[in-house]
Amino acid sequence: MFLAYHLNLTSGQISGITLNGAQSLYDYPPVKDHAFEQEFLTILLQEHISLINPKEFLFETKGIVSTPEYLRNRVYSLLAYYKMESVY
């Protein structure tokens, strides 16, 4: 969600991020020259990589890159879950 809402990346751009290309995320204006955002992005990437253990792409499952549609649906379901959680 950080990549979509803070860096304004589309699901297609996010699904195409390789492990090697993840460093380019630090060049985006919302992160570049902002220490807090850089630290936050570093923590997010480290936690994601340690949990998912991707091989080539930042967002993949068992070596298969996540499609833009899959990523979009994940974001929608997370938003719906937390929105409903606050209601109940």
Q: What's the structural domain count of the chain?
A: 1
- 16, two tokens: 């195409």
Q: Is a pLDDT exceeding 90 seen at residue 71?
A: yes
Query: Which residue in 72, 51, 67, 50 sits closest to 15, CA to CA?
Result: 67
Q: Is a pLDDT exceeding 80 seen at residue 23?
A: yes
Structure confidence at residue 57 (pLDDT): 97
Tell if the pTM clears 0.85, that is, is over it: no
Structure confidence at residue 1 (pLDDT): 85
Domain span holding position 62: 2-87
Structure confidence at residue 10 (pLDDT): 94
Rg value, the chain, Cα:
14
Rounded average pLDDT over 69-78: 91
Tell me the pLDDT band of 26, cut-offs 50, 70 and 90. very high
- If one counts every other C-beta atom within 10 angstroms of the C-beta of residue 86, the result is 6
